Amino acid sequence: MNKRIYWIEGDGIGPEIWKAARPVIEAALAAENTGINLEWTELLAGDKAVKETGSPLPEETMQTLRTAELAMKGPLGTPVGTGIRSLNVALRQGLDLYACIRPVRHFEGLETPVKHPERVNMVIFRENTEDVYAGVEFAAGTPEARKLITFLREELGVNKVGDAAAVGIKPMTEAGSKRLVRRALRFALDQKQQSLTLVHKGNIMKFTEGAFRQWGYDVAAQEFGDLTCTEKEPVAGRLVVKDRIADAMFQEALLRPEQYQILATPNLNGDYISDALAAQVGGLGLAPGVNMSDTLAFYEATHGTAPTIAGKDKANPGSVILCGALMLEHIGVPKAAERIRNAVSKAIAAKAVTEDLAAQVPGSRTVGCVEFGDIIGANL
């Protein structure tokens, strides 16, 4: 059986981490003798697309992905303050990849900023298409901003916004929130987890993030009522659905991480908490992620393009390799996925790691991107 995987090389360190990661993914699958073959088809986006087509995100790429089931990509650059808002956001919104799913766990041997990183073992489900990432904002002093400010004052009686303000809108819908929490609930139940936590700032943003919290509880009660319970009314053997205010959750993640397994969050909260948790266990270099619609699973490295080390054989291919493990799990080969995770663990235990990890592995030997990929491959 063949599985077609569309892949985007990425900017900066993208080309070199792909060269190191892809052989590992293929070897892990081959070791299981499943009869599944991966067919890789490249699509263009980012700097490579600009050079070949003049566009950072060609319509041909989007059209292909709209009918795809599996895709992977390296990091894509995002200009700050000018140009296209974000290629990553454009892909997520254009393909309705509404669930950003990031598992966070510690690999033994990595020193981290906390005493017990091994207590962190969470999966974050981040809503991916709404919230401030919808991109509805207007620069200070523009006619659009002034018009919106005037509307707020004259039509809605909102007098707290100054004339010189930049303004943005934070849309959050019941449908968007519920489908994210629904997916998180199904995952938590399938994995026989203890709890799911809704992370929000509903004490201040009562009608957006507060609504996210309520819609989360509603979908749990209405669609999974015989399988879930609340923290206030626990039932033995059921998944506990609870909620935490975002700033409190950051404290909990440091003080009592073992009490949390699955987090479901609005877009911005999820962006913050997933990176913060990754830092607790060793950084983004070993942090995989997937963006999912109802039909497409799009795996991506969670780190950036790292242009200062691009082409120097210093990059860490671990995030893309572990994305491959997530993808293999998704297509029904969990043993191949576990092979990859064990192989990464062995590489760290052997203290032969890339530059970004070397400072966290006492007594380690620094190796290049290619060699690190070879070491992980040999450990399969």
- 72-123: per-residue pLDDT in tens? 999 998 654 445 668 888 899 899 999 999 999 999 999 999 999 999 999 9
Give me 211's structure tokens: 């609504």
Mean pLDDT confidence for 133-149: 93
Amino acid 339: pLDDT: 97
Whole-angstrom CA distances from 232 to 202, 235, 246, 257, 288 are 18, 10, 19, 20, 34
Annotated binding site, which residues?
86, 88, 92, 102, 126, 271, 316
- 33-67: per-residue pLDDT in tens? 999 999 999 999 999 999 999 999 999 999 999 99
Amino acid 83: pLDDT: 52
Which residues, 6 or more positions from 103, have their beta carbon under 8 angstroms from its beta carbon? 122, 123, 124, 288, 326
Beta strands 239-245 and 195-200 are: parallel
Domains and CATH numbers, the chain: 1-99+287-379 (3.40.718.10), 112-128+172-281 (3.40.718.10), 137-170 (no CATH)
Q: Which residues of 161-170 are buried (b: 16+ CB within 10 A; e: fewer)?
A: eeeeeebeeb
Categorize the per-residue pLDDT at 303 as very low, low, confident or very high, splitting at 50, 70 and 90.
confident
pLDDT exceeds cutoff 70 at 325 = yes
Our CA dihedral for 217, 219, 225, 230, rounded to 10 degrees, sits at: -10
**pTM, full prediction:** 0.93
Amino acid 338: pLDDT: 97
∠ Cα 4 6 10 (to 5°): 155
Whole-angstrom CA distances from 92 to 142, 268, 367 are 28, 14, 34
Annotated binding site for Mg(2+), which residues?
271
Q: Are 166 and 137 in contact (CB under 8 A)?
A: yes
- 202-233: per-residue pLDDT in tens? 999 999 999 999 999 999 999 999 999 999 99
Mean pLDDT confidence for 316-343: 96
Amino acid 86: pLDDT: 80
Q: Are 28 and 324 in contact (CB under 8 A)?
A: yes
Amino acid 89: pLDDT: 85
What number of residues does the chain have?
380
Q: Tokens 């707020």 label which residue?
A: 152
Annotated binding site for NADP(+), which residues?
316
Q: Are 99 and 274 in contact (CB under 8 A)?
A: no
The full 3-state SS of the chain, as one line of letters, equals CEEEEEEECCCCCHHHHHHHHHHHHHHHHHCCCCCCEEEEEECCCCHHHHHHHCCCCCHHHHHHHHCCCEEEECCCCCCCCCCCCCHHHHHHHHCCCCEEEEEEECCCCCCCCCCCHHHCEEEEEEECCCHHHHCEEECCCCHHHHHHHHHHHHHHCCCCCCCCCCEEECCCCHHHHHHHHHHHHHHHHHCCCCEEEEEECCCCCCCCHHHHHHHHHHHHHHHHCCCEEECCCCCCCCEEEEEEEHHHHHHHHHHCHHHCCEEEECHHHHHHHHHHHHHHHCCHHHCEEEEECCCCEEEEECCCCCHHHCCCCCCCCHHHHHHHHHHHHHCCCHHHHHHHHHHHHHHHHCCEECHHHHCCCCCCEECCHHHHHHHHHHHC
The CA distance from 276 to 274, in Å, is 5
The CA distance from 39 to 142, in Å, is 49
Residues forming the active site: 133, 201, 247, 271
Amino acid 80: pLDDT: 47
The CA distance from 341 to 57, in Å, is 32
Backbone angles phi, psi at 197, to 5 degrees: -115, 125
The CA distance from 135 to 126, in Å, is 17
